[in-house]
């Protein structure tokens, strides 16, 4: 079946630094990649949608200069959290849309100290 | 008004009983609906998708869709302790099939008691 590999699974970073999260579709081409954020006890909130080779579309209230998304190929998308702050601590999940629907990555637990 | 609504629970279900989960949505034009299970600290995993009115069964799971009433439900038969998780209802929104985004409900926590 379709697999999306997401790395790292956990990361702790200092306030003010940047963190890059990678999502790779291993056995299919992901035409579209979705990036979600999930705070404790809350549901998944869509941050942005990206199509290969084009600029990402950000949801209202999500700062595009803070959450940089690159979708350079049909198998790789990255989310970079720039100048991270403690309030950015969350569970970040990618989801790739391929021919057979949506496949989620395993998530990245980001803790900013 | 939230676009996808679920009861947050927790829904306590005795082992072996049926768990019934409900979800309502606001976009009458929505055509694709999904149920995901999420264990604590893990990403969601797809249980079922449903696109047509009526029932769809897969093992111990049955999804029911009623577009006129804008609700979708999930039944879990013979509930097991391993079914204890948060169940997320998701509705596909957007105007093109090529990249319709999912709108998630807040999730219903299910606790199956031995």
- The length of chain B is 114
Look at residue B81 in the predicted model and tell me its pLDDT: 96
Residue A94, CA atoms < 13 Å, CB-side half-sphere: 31
Residue A26 tokens read as 């291993």
CB-nearest partner of A43 from B41, B46, B107: B107
Query: What was the pLDDT predicted at B79?
Result: 98
Residues A16-27, mean pLDDT to the nearest whole number: 95
The confidence score (pLDDT) of residue A72 equals 81
Query: Is the pLDDT at B95 greater than 80, yes or no?
Result: no
The mean pLDDT of chain B is: 92
Asked if A30 and A22 touch (Cβ cutoff 8 Å), the reply is no
Q: How many residues does chain A have?
A: 113
Contact A45, A38 (CB under 8 A): yes
Q: What is the pLDDT of residues A25-46, one digit of tens each?
A: 998 888 889 999 999 888 899 9
Q: How confident is the model at residue A101 (pLDDT cuts 50, 70, 90)?
A: confident
Which residue did the predictor score with more confidence, A65 or B99?
Answer: A65
Find chain B residues with C-beta within 8 A of A93's C-beta: 43-44
Phi-psi region of B108 (alpha: psi -120 to 50; beta: other; left: phi over 0): beta
The pLDDT of B73-82, averaged and rounded, is 97
């Amino acid at each position: 079946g379709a697999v999306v590999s997401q790395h790292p699974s956990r990361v702790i970073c200092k306030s003010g630094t940047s963190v890059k999260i990678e999502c790779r579709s291993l056995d299919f081409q992901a035409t579209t990649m979705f990036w979600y954020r999930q705070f404790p006890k809350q549901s998944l909130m869509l941050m942005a949608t990206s199509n290969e080779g084009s600029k990402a579309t950000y949801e209202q209230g999500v700062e595009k200069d803070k959450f940089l998304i690159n979708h350079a190929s049909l198998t790789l998308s990255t989310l970079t959290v720039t100048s991270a702050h403690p309030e950015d601590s969350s569970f970040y999940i990618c989801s790739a849309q391929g021919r057979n629907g949506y496949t989620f990555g395993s998530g990245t637990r980001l803790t900013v100290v | 008004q939230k676009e996808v609504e679920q009861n947050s629970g927790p829904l306590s279900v005795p082992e072996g009983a049926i768990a019934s989960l409900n979800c309502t949505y606001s976009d009458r034009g929505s055509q694709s609906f999904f149920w995901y299970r999420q264990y604590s600290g893990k990403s969601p995993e797809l249980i079922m998708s449903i696109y047509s009115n009526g029932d769809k069964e897969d093992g111990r799971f049955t999804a029911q869709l009623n577009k006129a009433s804008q609700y979708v439900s999930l039944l879990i038969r013979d509930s097991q302790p391993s079914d204890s998780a948060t169940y997320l209802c998701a509705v596909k929104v957007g105007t093109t099939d090529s990249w319709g985004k999912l709108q998630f409900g807040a999730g219903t926590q299910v606790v199956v008691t031995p």
